[in-house]
Amino acid sequence: MKKMSCVFFLLLACALISEAAADPLPSWNSGPAKQAILDFVAKVTDPDSKGFVPASERLAVFDNDGTLWPENPMPFQLSFALDELKRRLPDEPAWKDDPMVQAALAGDLPTLLADHYKGLFHIIDLTGSGMTTEEFADRVRAWFANAKHPRFDRPYDQLAYQPMLEVLEFLRANGFRARLRHPARASHWLKHPHRL
């Protein structure tokens, strides 16, 4: 009887492992969203399907708007801009008299967000201009390597949502190139999807 129980549990474990391995989106609940993803990928990867897309043309683009990692209490790009503002302030004495810099340093988000985000864009412009594209990319990489999310106290690349990681992996496993998009100097922020 004991041997039979062990065999039963071993078979059950194998069945569960096999089912998990067969499901490319295991953290997703069964439902229309998950099924739509599975159906879409099946359609575009099946050479006999009318919707077939050659692997060389498969591109999935994701908007970085909180679907990949948390953006509260603020988007990580804003965290970078504020950290960069503080880092560069000693070398930029004229900034100290700027009302938007003062608002940023005081954490006055309503002032920064007023008038269609005018103050916020001003801070992003201050901290992201006056350098080459590569210099900006170097600063982002240096910040990204050490920055921690203010709420979770963890590096940003450890905060990606598991369901989205599964979608990215599923698409890549089916011949898609996956790209992440964000309007603010996107090419620098999004050179890190390999860390996701």
Q: What is the mean pLDDT of residues 115-131?
A: 90
The answer to whether the CB of 76 falls within 8 A of the CB of 182 is no
pLDDT tier for residue 196 given thresholds of 50, 70 and 90: very low
What is the predicted pLDDT for the residue at 189? 44
Residue 177 has pLDDT above 90, yes or no: yes
**16: pLDDT strictly greater than 90:** no
Determine the pLDDT at residue 158.
Answer: 84
Note the pLDDT of residue 64: 67
Instruction: Label residue 65 by pLDDT band (50, 70, 90).
Output: low
Overall pTM surpassing 0.75 (yes/no): no
Residue 69 pLDDT: 77
174-177 contact pairs (CB < 8 A, 24+)? 174/41, 174/45, 174/58, 175/45, 175/55, 175/58, 176/55, 176/58, 176/59, 176/60, 177/58, 177/59, 177/60
The encoded tokens of residue 68 equal 């990949």
